[in-house]
Amino acid sequence: MDVVSKITLVASIVLMGYSASQLVAKTAELDEKADEIRTLMKVSESREHGIRLFNFAISFTLLVAYVLLSIFSGLVYWISAIIAVKLAITLFFSDRELRMEIRGEEMNRRAILLDKADSFLNVLLGLSMALVLVL
C-alpha cells in the first residue's frame, strides 16, 4: 500500500467516525451546538455570510482533497465522481443546517431525518473506502 492510499485510509476512517458521531447525536446535543455557534457569533461580531463562507471554504477544500486522494489511490474516475457528488450533497446539508442554526430556526423532522440519512451514507462511504483500500 502506497503513502497516498494510507492517507486516504486514515481520511476514510475519520469521515466514518465523524459521520457516526453525527448520526447518533441527539437533538439536545445539536441544540447545544447551535447555541454555542450563536454565542460565538455574538462574541466575535461575525456576520452570517462570513461564517457560512468560511464553513463552505473549509468543507469544499476537504471535499476536493478527499476526491483527489481517492483518484490518486487508484480508484476509477466514475467512483471518484460519485464520491464528489455525495460529499457535495453533504456540503449543501451542512450549509442549510448552519444557516438555520444562525437564524435560530428550528429544524423540522424532515430536515433532521435527511441529515441522519446523509450521515448514515457518509458512514457507509467511509467504511466502503476503507474496505476497498485494505482488501
The whole-number pLDDT of residue 45 equals: 66
Q: Evaluate whether residue 99 is within a structural domain.
A: yes
Regions in the chain scoring below 70 on pLDDT? 27, 44-46
Q: Evaluate whether residue 135 is within a structural domain.
A: no
Predicted TM-score of the model (pTM): 0.85
Q: Evaluate whether residue 36 is within a structural domain.
A: yes
d(CA 4, CA 87): 20
The whole-number pLDDT of residue 36 equals: 76
Q: Evaluate whether residue 10 is within a structural domain.
A: yes
Query: Cβ distance 56 to 25 under 8 Å?
Result: no
Q: Evaluate whether residue 68 is within a structural domain.
A: yes
Q: Which domain holds residue 70?
A: 3-129
Number of structural domains found in the chain:
1
